[in-house]
Amino acid sequence: MLKCEQVTYRYNETDGIFNISLNIEKGECVALIGLNGSGKSTLLHAMAGLINPQEGSIEWEGEAVRPPKVGIVFQHPDNQFITTSVLDEMVFGLENIGIPREEMLERALAALDQVGMRWALEKHPMQLSGGEKQRVALAAILAMEPDVLLLDEVTSMLDPVAREHFQQIILHLKQKGWTIMYTTHLVEEYLMADRFLMLDHGELVFDGDLEQLASSTQLPMPFTVELQRTFGLNVKASTWKECIDSLWTSN
């Protein structure tokens, strides 16, 4: 279990996260949502052990959070890169956590294949396009196989098909029992989550599932939810196609 107890991290009087308490069970997939500046990245950084809250504590399985148990993919990939080639970028993290040489390359290539970036092994990370950077940044953390995966808007620069692949990757990791928390401003990505946490001005203001989110907030919703509402169906994370199919067979 990932346990946050009364966590406060303040940059100044008004900005930061304030008195956040929550538990995330092993194997949960949680979407962390909220407006620009609501504190999502700050909370993820605290959960990854990158910043130390002034108050409160964050633990994973009873121990203070730290890499590599908790892995984070940054909102801006440029902030994550430290080496001069894509391959080095992949290997660096694995070396740090003591993965044997033979296995390192295997893991690195498998992760790059997942995001379609094996072709770029020798490229300098800074020579990549925006979306390519984001893919490599994701692969580097996936290869480390953390217990808890924190993803900070990792699809913002991906093309639509890469976003679909990303959703497949997450669904696959969910099946494998990974604990995942991701932030996004793209409502279609809500559908991967079992649970939603919403921040507002650094405070936790919502904790519930998709149905509760749809009924208790005015937020824009994925198209399939709009469709379900229009047709008076129960709100759930089924695809629009499944909804249309069900309407057709019932009539």
Ligand X SMILES: Nc1ncnc2c1ncn2[C@@H]1O[C@H](COP(=O)(O)OP(=O)(O)OP(=O)(O)O)[C@@H](O)[C@H]1O
Residue 41 lies near Mg ion (rule: CB under 5 A): yes
By CB under 5 A, the residues from 61 to 80 that bind Mg ion are: 75
Look at residue 188 and give the partner it binds from another protein, ligand X, Mg ion, none, a contact being a CB closer than 5 to 8 Å depending on partner kind: another protein
Q: Min. distance of Cβ 54 from ligand X in angstroms?
A: 14
Q: Min. distance of Cβ 62 from ligand X in angstroms?
A: 26
E-state strands within 68-194? 70-73, 148-152, 179-183
In the list 63, 98, 230, 234, the residue contacting another protein (rule: CB under 8 A) is 230
> Who contacts 149 (Cβ-Cβ below 8 Å, separation ≥6)?
71, 73, 141, 142, 173, 178, 179, 180, 181
Q: Which is nearer to another protein, 10 or 185 (CB)?
A: 185
Q: Min. distance of Cβ 139 from another protein in angstroms?
A: 13
| CA dist., res. 150 & res. 179, Å (int) | 9
By C-alpha distance, which of 84, 81, 73 is closest to 41? 73
In the list 22, 187, 233, 237, the residue contacting another protein (rule: CB under 8 A) is 187
Residue 160 lies near another protein (rule: CB under 8 A): yes
Look at residue 184 and give the partner it binds from another protein, Mg ion, ligand X, none, a contact being a CB closer than 5 to 8 Å depending on partner kind: none
Q: Min. distance of Cβ 118 from another protein in angstroms?
A: 13
Note whether 107 and 95 are within 8 A (CB).
no
| CA dist., res. 1 & res. 61, Å (int) | 5
Note whether 58 and 37 are within 8 A (CB).
no
Q: Which stretch binds ligand X (CB under 6 A): 38-46, 66-74, 221-229, 238-246?
A: 38-46
| CA dist., res. 54 & res. 68, Å (int) | 23
By CB under 6 A, the residues from 107 to 166 that bind ligand X are: 127-132, 157, 159
Q: Min. distance of Cβ 171 from ligand X in angstroms?
A: 23
Residue 130 lies near Mg ion (rule: CB under 5 A): yes
| CA dist., res. 103 & res. 112, Å (int) | 14
Residue 127 lies near another protein (rule: CB under 8 A): yes
Binding site for ligand X (CB under 6 A): 11, 15-16, 34, 36-42, 75, 127-132, 157, 159
Binding site for another protein (CB under 8 A): 34-37, 75, 127-132, 135, 153, 156-164, 185, 187-188, 219-220, 222-224, 226-227, 230-231, 240-241, 244, 247-248, 251
